[in-house]
Amino acid sequence: EIQLQESGPGLVKPSQSLSLTCSVTGYTITSGYDWSWIRKFPGNKMEWMGYISYSGSTNYNPSLKSRISITRDTSKNQFFLQLNSVTTEDTATYYCASRTRLQGFAYWGQGTLVTVSS
């Protein structure tokens, strides 16, 4: 069974960078799927942030394009989120998830709350 697990700091200061790791078990991230980051803001709003594909290509939400980077370490079967110049508006629960176009987001991590505050 595919399992995803987010990890990273729960508190980030404004103007700094937010960095999260998604560790994948039960599947090799180079075998298939797009590997996404999604966030849920306080109050239920969900936002797809971007993905890195199994081949290594990336696709970002234009609303974040200047601040976001998604990379991977295939040797560790992990992929990463970096979001630069964060503000309090970036406070959210961040999820990693696997997706196919046909079937959507099949597997999700448990989510990690990141608070942006000084």
Is 110 near another protein (CB under 8 A)?
yes
Q: How many residues bind another protein (CB under 8 A)?
A: 22
Comparing CB distances to another protein, the nearer of 47 and 74 is: 47
- Of the residues 16, 27, 77, 108, which one makes contact with another protein according to CB under 8 A: 108
Distance between CA atoms of residues 100 and 69, nearest Å = 20
Tell me the backbone φ, ψ of residue 28, rounded to 5 degrees: -95, 125
**Segment contacting another protein (CB under 8 A): 17-25, 44-52, 71-79, 80-88?**
44-52
Is 27 near another protein (CB under 8 A)?
no
Task: State the CB neighbour count (10 A cutoff) for residue 88.
Answer: 10
Comparing CB distances to another protein, the nearer of 16 and 61 is: 61
- Of the residues 59, 74, 87, 114, which one makes contact with another protein according to CB under 8 A: 59
Q: Which residues bind another protein (CB under 8 A)?
A: 44-48, 59, 61-63, 95, 97, 99, 101-106, 108-111
